[in-house]
């Protein structure tokens, strides 16, 4: 099948965000350049892992001599809500990270989740067939800002139970550390 690839080089905005109440949130990656925008749904764990691996990539770049900001000024941190309308283009499956040394850009590719019978598309390739994808190329400062926001988005959910670490609902939860009693 012919794939759709949504490319954003130095987007105006690339963020992780949510729609819904804690415990029922849907997580999104959203990229926007001018009037062109795409939103893709993914799991909370995917947002967390993307931020973690992106942080590691930025640390490795610093060790190799690339100028990467360690901190982002509060004014440069995008804490606004997702742009509307939030229309899911696809649900994310594999995510790939890379570094383009020629343009000094971090490259993030989020591919669509496909059925089990379809072969995965080679990450960061120009293949004409395969899973739809969003490819975003970011300067290191914008990548650092993404990591900081993603951390806030992930941690803004339900607070953890102090005994077992599972998320607490507003009315508590059945805690395995309390032998199944409501906590």
Complete domains list, the chain, with CATH? 5-158 (3.30.2450)
pLDDT at residue 71, as a whole number: 80
Say if residues 16 and 80 touch (Cβ distance below 8 Å).
no
What is the Cα Rg of the chain in Å?
A: 18
CA 100 to chain centre: 19
Q: Nearest Cα to 69, choosing from 79, 59, 78, 82?
A: 59
Distances (CA, A) of 171 to 26, 90, 175: 21, 33, 12
DSSP classification of residue 169: B
pLDDT at residue 121, as a whole number: 78
Per DSSP, what are the bridge partners of residue 14? 31
pLDDT digit string (tens) for the chain, length 183 residues: 688 999 999 999 999 999 998 888 999 999 999 999 999 999 999 999 999 999 999 999 999 998 888 788 777 789 999 999 999 999 999 999 999 999 999 999 999 998 766 666 787 778 788 899 999 999 999 999 999 999 999 988 777 778 887 777 767 778 887 776 766
**What is the spatial order of strands in the sheet that 36-42 belongs to?**
5-9, 133-138, 105-112, 88-100, 36-42, 26-33, 13-19
pLDDT at residue 72, as a whole number: 82
pLDDT at residue 59, as a whole number: 95
């Amino acid at each position: 099948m012919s794939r759709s690839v949504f490319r954003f080089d130095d987007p105006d905005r690339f963020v992780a965000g949510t729609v819904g109440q804690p415990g029922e949130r849907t997580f999104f990656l959203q990229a926007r350049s001018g009037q062109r925008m795409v939103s893709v749904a993914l799991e909370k764990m995917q947002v967390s892992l993307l931020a973690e691996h992106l942080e590691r990539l930025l640390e490795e770049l610093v060790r190799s001599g690339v100028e990467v900001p360690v901190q982002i000024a509060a004014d440069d941190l995008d804490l606004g809500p997702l742009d509307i309308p939030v229309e899911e283009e696809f649900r994310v499956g594999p995510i790939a990270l890379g570094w383009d040394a020629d343009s000094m850009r971090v490259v993030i590719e989020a591919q669509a989740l496909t059925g089990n019978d379809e072969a995965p598309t080679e990450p960061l390739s120009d293949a004409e067939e395969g899973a739809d994808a969003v490819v975003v190329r970011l300067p290191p400062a914008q990548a650092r800002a993404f990591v900081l926001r993603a951390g806030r988005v992930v941690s803004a959910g339900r607070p953890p139970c102090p005994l077992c670490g599972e998320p607490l609902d507003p009315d508590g939860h059945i805690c395995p550390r309390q032998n199944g009693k409501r906590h």
